[in-house]
Structure 1
Amino acid sequence: MTRLQQAAGRSAVEFAAVRTGGEPTLEAFARAVLGLVAEPGDGVLGRVVGAIGAIDTAESLLAGRSAADLVERVVGAGGDLDEREATAGLDRWSPRLDHGSFIRSLTQAARVGAVLLTPADPAWPRGVDELHVHAPLGLWVRGRADALSSAHSTIALVGARAATGYGEHVAMEASAGLVDRGFTVVSGGAYGIDGMAHRAALASDGTTVAFLAGGVDRFYPLGHESLLARIVQTGAVVSELPCGTAPTKWRFLQRNRLIAAASEATVVLEAGTRSGSLNTAGHAAALGRPLGAVPGPVTSPASAGCHRLLREFDAVCVVDADQMAELAGGGNGTGIGRRPALGSSDGAGRSPDADRTIGTGSDDPTGVRMLDALSTRTPRELSDVARRAGLSVPEAMSTLGRFEAEGIVERRPSGWLRRRAG
């Protein structure tokens, strides 16, 4: 019996209590394990899984196989992995192999009635496969598991949290009009534009899907707990992160790639120059998906991001539900074809500049993850910071050294502390 089979046996009761897209399988169990050990969008893990499969990958981690052995397996299967990448990857993933945490996550998933979807399930949203090695290993869903299946036309409506009355009015009209045309409205569940898009879809008896940056057992933001609970009744709340996982800035940025990939088109309704919705637009453009932007008053800082999309990034100007539906193919799921990607592609379905092209403040992904992992009140040891960030200890040490020189963090006898701003 393999280590993975032994682990599945130890977790059989908890895993059996989790509804899945089909019968619980060793493949689904392996993907649940891998989802626990890696941060979203880990391209190295994606390459390993793509070459040798989720079961063999999880077995390699549980059995404590060496970096050299992992490289031999991946290369032997026709994949691409060098020993340096394998060593760094194992250093990131292995500290998170915690059976107790896994059991608690499965228990929480069962408690809230979560569904684990894998790529083998008919309800799997095929659009996310275009993320290639950055695609999610699995998706945890509360609500209708088929809400994002290819049988439905989908469109993402995103925008600023600090929305104006103008932006919320446009979002309300657009969302209601799109569900009347048969679209499923996809967004991020946040305050402002996202929340209005979800509420208008529900008010029009339509289907809406919210992607979260943490586990589906802990609705975020807290002020939208009742809204997200309503979405579960007729649509779905989705996350690639296991239950019990807290949202972080890095996970919000990675969540945005799923919003873009799961939708036939993305429309930015209102956004300032630093809005996170521009990150979603960057992912849509990198995937070659239709991208629309709604113009606003030229004097409004809340629309400056939309105007930049129109001026510099070839977004299509859209002003109502008819034009948004046309952008996405009219509601029949056909789309209007792929748009040229902004910037060069890394061959993995995602531009290397997807986070930087439009300037959303994510110029240093590793730095973002490190700051997420640090506390401003409690010093944390280096190994703990690295585990929380999903990085190897050498990677964490390098970034902390740079941050210390810049005065962003400080080292104390008991560990590392993030300095308070100001």
Structure 2
Amino acid sequence: MPSSPSSPSSPSSPSSPPRDERERLARAALTRVFEPGDERGGRWIREIGPVELMRRLGGTDGSPQSLKGMTAARLAGYRLRASSADPGQDLVDVAAIGGRFVCPGDREWPSQLDDLGDARPIGLWVRGRSDLRLWALRSVALVGARACTPYGAHMAATLAAGLAERGWVVVSGAAFGVDGAAHRGALAAGGATMAVLACGVDVAYPRGHAELIGRIAEQGLVMGELPPSDHPTRTRFILRNRVIAALTRGTVVVEAEYRSGSLVTARNAQRLGRYTMGVPGPATSGLSAGVHELLRGEGVLVTDAAEICELVGEIGELAPVRNGPVLPRDLLDAASARVLEALPWTGVMDGRDVARSAGASTDETLGRLYELHSLGFVEREGDGWRLTSGRTRDGGARRGGT
């Protein structure tokens, strides 16, 4: 291996890199050896350290027994990958596009990723000028169907813009559909957004989102577990979702079928103790069926950014109280409302009959009727009273009225 890190047992010399740099090189190399989320590899890193693990994988004197749970066939596969890893060149390549490699223990490392245990990322390749740890502290994931409906795209963009305006970072996967709409909504609001890729951060995938990914790298952050130039696969997309779930305070699913990667993100979020939310859709829409199933369980229904912030935010970040419109009748006192209710929908009623129906004295009823007359609720016709022409008891316009 061209840039193989040395053993931790070997003494440092003026020509050898410091220990933290050797660990960075080892972790960078291991991102080419192990697939994302490989818990076996994560356990070995935890038990013997990345430098020693690369020494055993890169040497010729190792044996299957040198690593717990390793078979000869698996060892051969790992060694084949390790032999072609060039972490020094990978670090140069990512720096050339304005990127960096962030490792556990770095100041910029988001510690919430440690909740993944041995499945946490070996490290993250990152593009963008912002601080990953600080942005992740106040972030929300917005995910959903690739083949989303116009409703789904509208809701994703609207929610993202609302979150961005409230100072939240929108995290998604840069895919077509809901992901792209979420990123664009945040960018349009001048807010912050992060894209977690299932490939190298120098690879624009999907190709149709090359411009969008470039904008995210300029205004926000693009990151992934895979080293530069690595390509996406189906399993890498699925495994990428655990990072989105762990990185953020909560996950919002906008549209998703029963079999959807977005639901994988939501289930990961639930297992990690994060908030899981869903945006309802038409009951007849197959693209909302998975979301509705989520809402039947532990998912929380949300319809706008304020409701999301109320759930994942700090004390005091409350959504406004939802009320229907205040009708003119709502402003009447109880006695006047009772007199108004006594009048028939059509026709004229004598004042005494109104008093009898309202259960009040004649004098009090007449006083209330004149008050209602001045407010426009009733009108007088001869010796009787009726509802104002074209108006209902609540003070609104009657159907077909003026």
TM-score (norm 2): 0.71
Structure 2 matches for 1:48-197, cutoff 5 A?
48-67=44-63, 70-71=66-67, 81-82=68-69, 85=70, 87=72, 89-99=74-84, 102=87, 105-149=90-134, 152-197=137-182
Cα distance in 2 for partners of 1:65, 1:223 equals 47
Q: What is the CA distance between 1:150 and its match in structure 2?
A: 6.5
The amino acid that maps onto 2:36 is: P
Q: How far off its partner does 1:322 sit?
A: 1.1
2:265 aligns with 280
Q: Deviation at 1:67?
A: 3.7
Residue of structure 2 equivalent to 1:355: none
User: 1 CA distance for matches of 2:294 and 2:285?
Assistant: 15
Contact 1:325/1:331 (8 A) holds in 2? no
Query: Does 2:255 align with 1:270?
Result: yes
Cα distance in 2, alignment partners of residues 63 and 331 from structure 1:
54
Q: CA deviation at 1:91?
A: 3.2
Which residue, 319, 324, 348 being the options, matches 2:303?
319
Deviation readout 1:54-83 (Å, 9 max, x if unpaired): 111112112234345524xxxxxxxxx34x
1:206 maps onto 2:191 in alignment:
yes
* Alignment partners' CA distance in 1, 2:192 and 2:310: 19
Listed one character per residue, the Cα deviations across residues 130-152 of structure 1 (whole Å, up to 9, x for unaligned) are: 11100001100010351343773
2:312 corresponds to which residue?
Answer: 328
Aligned to 1:36: 32
1:194-218 deviation digits (Å, cap 9, x = unpaired):
0011011111111100000000011
The 10-residue stretch of structure 1 (90-99 or 187-196) with the greater mean CA deviation from structure 2: 90-99
The 8 Å contact of residues 142 and 252 in structure 2, kept in 1 or not, is answered as yes
Query: Distance between the aligned counterparts of 1:3 and 1:176, measured in 2?
Result: 45
Give, in whole Å, the separation in 1 of the partners of 2:186 and 2:19. Answer: 32
Compared CA separation, residues 30 and 204, structure 1 to 2 (3 A)? same
Deviation at 1:326, TM superposition (A): 1.9
- Write the mapping of 1:302-313 to structure 2, written as runs, cut at 5 A: 302-311=287-296, 313=297
SS at match of 1:120: coil
Does the aligned pair in 1 maintain the 2:172–2:196 contact within 8 Å? yes
What is the alpha-carbon distance in structure 2 between the residues aligned to residue 44 and residue 67 of structure 1?
A: 16
**Offset, 1:26:** 0.8
- Secondary structure of the 1:149 match is helix
Report the counterpart of residue 393 of structure 2 in structure 1.
none
Does 2:48 align with 1:47?
no
Q: Which has the higher contact order (CA 8 A, sep 6+)?
A: 1
User: Alignment RMSD, CA only?
Assistant: 2.5
Asked if structure 2 preserves the Cα contact closer than 8 Å seen for 1:257 and 1:280, the reply is yes
2-structure distance, mates of 1:147, 1:282: 24
Matches of 1:93 and 1:169, distance apart in 2: 45
Provide the rounded CA distance (Å) in 1 between the counterparts of 2:153 and 2:84.
Answer: 45
* Separation of aligned partners in 2, 1:207 and 1:316: 24
Q: How far did 1:23 drift?
A: 11
> Relative to 1, partners in 2 of residues 1:208 and 1:3: Cα closer, same or farther, differing over 3 Å?
closer
User: What is the rounded CA distance, in whole Å, between the counterparts of 1:102 and 1:26 in structure 2?
Assistant: 10
Q: Which amino acid aligns with 2:230?
A: T
Cα distance in 2, alignment partners of residues 23 and 69 from structure 1 = 26
Q: Counterpart of 2:399?
A: none
Quick one: distance in 2 between partners of 1:175 and 1:132?
30
1:2-52 superposed Cα distances (whole Å, 9 cap, x missing partner): 96239xxxxxxxxx9xxxxx9971110010011111111111110011111
The verdict on how the C-alpha distance between 1:320 and 1:231 changes in structure 2, with shifts beyond 3 A counting, is same
Q: Which is greater in Rg? A: 2
Matched residue of 1:292: which SS?
A: strand
**Tell me, which stretches of 5 or more residues in structure 1 are unaligned?**
7-15, 17-21, 72-80, 334-422
Q: Is the 8 A contact 1:4 1:62 kept in 2?
A: no
1:332 Cα deviation (Å)? Answer: 9.7
Aligned partners of 2:32 and 2:85 also within 8 Å:
no
1:151 and 1:131 mapped to 2: Cα distance? Answer: 15
Residues 142 and 251 of structure 2 are in contact (CA less than 8 Å); yes or no, is this contact kept in structure 1?
A: yes
**What SS class does the counterpart of residue 267 from structure 1 fall into?**
strand
Number of aligned residues = 306
TM (norm. structure 1) is 0.68
Describe the shift of the 1:296–1:238 C-alpha distance in structure 2 as closer, same or farther (beyond 3 A): same
Write the distance in 2 (CA, Å) between the matches of 1:152 and 1:175. 17
Distance 1:324 1:122 in 2: 29
Look up the SS of the partner of 2:277 in the other structure.
strand
- For the residue of structure 1 that corresponds to 2:159, the secondary structure is helix
Conserved 8 A contact 2:64-2:75? no
Identity of aligned residues (%): 44
Deviations 1:298-323 (A, max 9, x none): 11111111011112x32111111111
Pair 1:86–1:129, CA change in 2 (3 A):
farther
CA spacing shift, 1:327–1:300, aligned 2, 3 Å: same
Q: CA contact under 8 A between 1:118 and 1:137: conserved in structure 2?
A: yes
CA distance in 2 between partners of 1:222 and 1:47 (Å): 35
Could you say what secondary structure the match of 1:5 adopts? coil
